[in-house]
């Protein structure tokens, strides 16, 4: 464990020292399409022999954004009929969010689920919660009414778009998240490459006008 931490620190230090040389070799950053710490780090890490190649810390262990969305969608369309129904929402809230079982989902319960269970970022979790929560601070989200509302049938495409829209806004509101936030870092790639997400209208609009990093 200590050795792994040592390796990580060493490789980070190495990346920091070498960044300058790399820029010098390139004769300035003008033509380099990818800028900032992330790109310098990645540019260097590809050149390191395998045991020295560090994984990107901000996304380590999180898989792809498409996988995280698929996990959440799979739970909310548990019977795989392409509709998110009232009972499916109820079961998700009851089984995965409402840890103290009081019928209310609080911001703490929501972010816990999104960060630990679904591996989304804190900023995205907080914003998605805010988009759904009521003004009632002691009980911002109630879900009991969904238990038997089989009439409620939301197409999975609507569910996906609504969730993607909040993520796009999360990334747009602070473009440093393009580097510091795994969901924002992976958004453009997922919108281009993920079979499901690339079909979504919110993703299509994002590909046309993605968030741009400033150095």
Q: Is 4 exposed, middle or buried (0-12, 13-18, 19+ CB in 10 A)?
A: exposed
Compare residues 99 and 136 and give the one whose CB is closer to ligand NAG. 136
The contact set with ligand NAG (CB under 6 A) reads 80, 136, 138-139, 142, 144-145, 147-148
Residue (55 or 100) nearer to ligand NAG, CB: 100
- Of residues 149 and 176, the one with the C-beta less far from ligand NAG: 149
Which residue's C-beta sits nearest to ligand NAG?
A: 139
- Looking at beta carbons only, is 136 or 176 nearer to ligand NAG? 136
Residues 6+ positions from 44 with CB-CB distance below 8 Å: 14, 15, 18, 19, 22
Cα-flanking dihedrals φ and ψ of residue 64, to 5°?
Answer: -95, 160
Q: Show Cβ contacts of residue 83 under 8 Å, excluding neighbours closer than 6 positions.
A: 77, 153, 154, 155, 156
């Amino acid at each position: 464990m200590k050795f792994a931490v040592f390796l990580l620190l060493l490789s980070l230090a190495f990346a920091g020292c070498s960044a300058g040389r790399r820029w010098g070799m390139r004769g300035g950053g003008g033509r380099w399409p990818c800028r900032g710490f992330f790109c310098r780090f990645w540019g260097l890490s590809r050149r390191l022999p395998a045991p020295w190649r560090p994984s990107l810390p901000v996304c380590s262990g999180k898989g792809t954004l498409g996988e995280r969305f698929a996990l959440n969608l799979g739970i909310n369309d548990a019977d795989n009929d392409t509709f998110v129904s009232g009972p499916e929402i109820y079961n998700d809230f009851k089984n995965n969010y409402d840890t103290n079982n009081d019928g209310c989902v609080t911001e703490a319960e929501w972010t816990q689920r999104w960060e630990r269970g679904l591996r989304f970022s804190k900023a995205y979790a907080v914003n998605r919660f805010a988009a759904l929560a009521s003004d009632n601070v002691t009980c911002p989200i109630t879900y009991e009414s969904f238990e038997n509302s089989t009439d409620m049938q939301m197409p999975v495409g609507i569910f996906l778009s609504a969730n993607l829209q909040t993520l796009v806004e999360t990334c747009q509101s602070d473009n440093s998240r393009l580097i510091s936030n795994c969901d924002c870092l992976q958004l453009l790639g997922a919108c281009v490459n993920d079979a499901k997400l690339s079909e979504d209208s919110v993703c299509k609009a994002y590909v046309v006008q993605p968030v741009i990093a400033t150095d």
